[in-house]
């Protein structure tokens, strides 16, 4: 059993490698985790290209949804993107918040921060910044964001409870989040649960959807809505790396256990600045 620090270091190294790959390489993989499929499509991500603010150089094909589409971002908002990667969701959020708003991307991996800053500099964006840090303890002050977004990141984090407490802390009263993530609706085969490559590929780090939504409620959020729920089908040429023929047959005979969900929730207008254990009180 890996420790939290070991998992974090594995994820940091894998995503450092991904930062140096192009989108086509990532798109032929499971959430960018490596060249684990010969089928040239990403089994998680959706098409960003029609969205205002889309930046090709910032699109590494690593997401599992389109949280900014659902995020109700208004002009002048301050938006925080958790696990901002090369900056794609930040630049799309900027198109919504406009030049009077501000977008802050937080990412764990130095190579991703460097890539995102390079992309922002090329486009001359002076209201988009990127900060290196752990989203379990964000380098961001409390009560400063109108909106938090994240795309296929929390499933990589061992302590999801801490992340939701941090989201609550950094949001202004009345603020909200929209997060796309991978969750489970059934038990995965043990070999998929314990494989490090599948962890970096956004699958083995996922938890049951009911438990995920409970963490959001326990953090103090209100009006929790699942805005989108879609099945994630793992192709045979990925499954054969982890399961034998009988195990694949059994796995595929059941309803798809892996889901991509986009969840919305609000911090109440009268909410305290932070929750106990949130690191600010």
Task: Indicate whether 23 pLDDT > 60.
Answer: no
Q: pLDDT-based confidence at 36, cuts 50/70/90? A: very low
pLDDT of residue 59: 80
Give residue 241's pLDDT.
Answer: 80
Q: List the domain boundaries for the chain.
A: 4-266
CATH, domain 4-266, list 3.40.50.150, 3.30.70.260, 3.30.300.30, 3.40.50.1820: 3.40.50.150
For the stretch 209-227, what's the b/e string if a residue is b when 16 or more beta carbons lie within 10 angstroms of its beta carbon? beebbebbeebbbeeeeeb
Whether residue 276 is predicted with pLDDT greater than 80 in this model: the reply is: no
| Greater pLDDT, 10 or 115 | 115
Better-scored residue on pLDDT, 238 or 96: 96
| H and E: helices and strands count for the chain | 11, 7
Cβ distance 43 to 53 under 8 Å?
A: no
The percent of the chain in helix, strand and coil, each rounded to the nearest 5, is 35, 20, 45
Could you read off the pLDDT of 241-267 as tens digits, one per residue? 888 999 889 888 888 888 899 999 999
What integer pLDDT is reported at residue 192 of this predicted model? 72
Residue 231 has pLDDT above 70, yes or no: yes
What does the pLDDT read at residue 240? 83
pLDDT in tens, 170-218: 999 999 999 999 898 988 777 776 654 454 455 657 889 999 999 999 9
Largest CA distance in the chain: 57
pLDDT at 203: 64
The model's confidence at residue 119, banded by pLDDT at 50, 70 and 90, is: very high
* Amino acid 199: pLDDT: 40
Q: Which has more pLDDT, 72 or 241?
A: 72
Instruction: Tell me if residue 179 falls in helix, strand or coil.
Output: strand
CA atoms of 145 and 77, how far apart (whole Å):
8
C-alpha span between 39 and 28 (Å, rounded): 6
Averaged pLDDT, 49-53: 88
Chain-centre distance for alpha carbon 194: 20
Q: How does residue 100 score in pLDDT terms, banded at 50, 70 and 90?
A: very high
19 near 173, Cβ under 8 Å? no
């Amino acid at each position: 059993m890996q420790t939290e620090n070991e998992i974090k270091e594995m994820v940091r190294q894998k995503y450092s490698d991904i930062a140096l790959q192009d989108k086509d390489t990532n798109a032929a993989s499971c959430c960018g985790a490596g060249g684990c499929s010969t089928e040239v499509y990403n089994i998680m991500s959706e098409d960003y290209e029609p969205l205002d603010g889309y930046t090709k150089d910032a699109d590494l094909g690593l997401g599992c949804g389109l949280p900014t589409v659902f995020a109700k971002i208004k002009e002048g908002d301050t938006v925080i993107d958790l696990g901002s990667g090369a900056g794609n969701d930040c630049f799309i959020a900027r198109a919504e918040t406009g030049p009077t708003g501000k977008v802050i991307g937080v990412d764990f991996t130095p190579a991703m921060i460097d890539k995102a800053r390079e992309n922002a500099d090329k486009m001359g964006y002076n209201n988009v910044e990127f900060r290196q840090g752990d989203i379990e303890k964000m380098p961001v002050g409390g009560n400063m964001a109108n909106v938090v977004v994240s795309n296929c990141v929390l499933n990589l984090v061992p302590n999801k409870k801490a992340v939701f407490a941090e989201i609550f802390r950094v949001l202004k009263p009345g603020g909200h989040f929209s997060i796309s993530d991978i969750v489970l609706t059934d038990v995965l085969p043990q070999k998929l649960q314990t494989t490090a490559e599948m962890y970096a590929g956004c699958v083995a780090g996922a938890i049951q959807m009911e438990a995920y939504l409970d963490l959001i409620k326990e953090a103090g959020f209100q009006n929790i809505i699942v805005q989108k729920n879609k099945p994630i089908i793992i192709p045979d040429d990925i499954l054969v790396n982890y399961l034998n023929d009988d195990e694949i047959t059994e796995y595929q005979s059941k309803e798809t256990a892996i889901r991509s969900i986009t969840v919305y929730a609000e911090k109440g207008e009268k909410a305290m600045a932070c929750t106990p254990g949130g690191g600010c009180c």
